Amino acid sequence: MVTGIVFHEEYLKHEQSPTHPERRERLAYTMDQLREEGIFESERIVLLEPFKASLEDVLEVHTEEYVRFLEMESKKGGIIDFDTNIPVGVFDRALLAAGGAIRAAQAVLNKECENAFAMIRPPGHHAKPYIGAGFCYLNNMAIMVKWLLKQGFERIAILDWDAHHGDGTQEIFYNDDRVLFISTHQMPLYPGTGYPEECGTGKGEGYTVNIPLPPGTGDEGYMMVIDEIIEPVVNEFKPQFIAISAGQDNHFTDPITSLALTARGYAEMMRRAVAMAEKHCDGRLVAVLEGGYSVEGALPYTNLGIIAAMAGFDLSAIREPENYLPELLWRKRDSALVKLKHNIEDVKRVHSKYWKCFK
Ligand SMILES: [Zn+2]
């Protein structure tokens, strides 16, 4: 199994401010860790050079008015919302991030690799057609999925496991039955959407599956969600391509969320996703980096876990950041599992109308 990794030094140059959580060290530390572990020397890893997404591909998702606004503001600096400003030069970097996601998908289609991880910045899943939001400018995932649809794919499953609800991606595919959007996210948390009742509209009714997670949800909770919701729906949908919005802010050290997933848990989730891709789509799977703000305690470890699972390495070597282990004890809550079981029942009740597996 060969796994592609999309990366470019330009991704380290994007910065809203030195103290902003979405900062360059997120990827810089990960790259250091991957080099230290000798990942790039493995014959199962291939480094992929990204290109800038074309305006044509971006306009499949975003309005021309917003794209022009972003391009103009990016020349002098501007602001979108309280936590998303427009640094000078972000337009080109956002195009390179979106192009990085497309590059990953292209590499899988060209059989340069079996699956690929786009380690890109800035992230994208909160960006809506008409405006960016929540550290996001262009919706990298949606731009890649629209590109895949243009290549002739008819059933694509997006699994968005970022700790925040992927409201932008949901909105873009809300009435589309070709794209199954499944999101797990902490609730309550920004952006405040992602209830089970939000399940799509028109032709897309039933093709949006939202699974809210109580604060304190750990590895067991995530595995329960995969067993009871994600895998049954994916098996019934039979995707031709699996795309993962790989947010890494579920880790127990993340400073802006309250979930309790471990690096080992991330690796296990990816192993399950890879198995689903092998079962349904000849292994075709792309992961696109979204959030994740524990730059030292999580990202180097979780990214390594994800890559190891994608490339089929031995996962027993995946470690947790030792200095932070006490945090796991107070962050993980057994009561979260009780609440999560109720949430899972809610999701099944809403979706029993659409999916045989829940009848
Ligand atoms: Zn997030």
Distance 210 CA to ligand 1 centre (A): 15
Selected catalytic residue, list 14, 125, 126, 251: 126
> Which of 26-35, 43-52, 139-148 shows the lowest mean pLDDT across its residues?
26-35
The answer to whether the beta carbons of residues 160 and 245 sit under 8 Å apart is yes
* 290 CA to centre of ligand 1 in angstroms: 7
Determine the average pLDDT of the residues in 177-191: 98
Q: What is residue 162's DSSP assignment?
A: S
Say if residue 129 is preceded by a cis peptide, omega within 30 of 0: no
Q: Find the distance separating the first CA and the last CA of the chain, reported in whole Å.
A: 37
Bridge-partner residues for 212, per DSSP?
A: 185
Q: Is the four-CA dihedral 273, 283, 300, 249 of positive or negative sign?
A: negative
Residue ranges for the known binding site are 162, 164, 249
The tokens describing 271, both together, are 């192993």
Average pLDDT over residues 308-332: 91
CA distance 158 to 69: 28
Average pLDDT (257-265) is 97
pLDDT band for position 305 (cuts 50, 70, 90): very high
Task: Convert the pLDDT of each residue in 3-40 to its tens digit.
Answer: 999 999 999 999 888 889 998 889 999 999 999 989 99
Give yes or no for a contact between 289 and 121, defined as CB atoms under 8 angstroms apart: yes
> What is the whole-number distance in angstroms between the Cα of residue 354 and the centre of ligand 1?
28
Query: SS3 of 165, please?
Result: coil
For residue 62, indicate whether it is catalytic: no
Q: What are phi and psi of 247, to 5 degrees?
A: -85, 145
Of 49, 68, 184, the closest CA to residue 120 belongs to 49
Strands 84-86 and 78-81, bridge-based pairing: antiparallel
**How far is it, in rounded angstroms, from Cα 114 to Cα 79?**
39
Alpha-carbon span 251 to 254, nearest angstrom: 6
> Which residues does 274 contact at the CB level (< 8 Å), separation at least 6?
115, 283, 285, 309, 310, 312
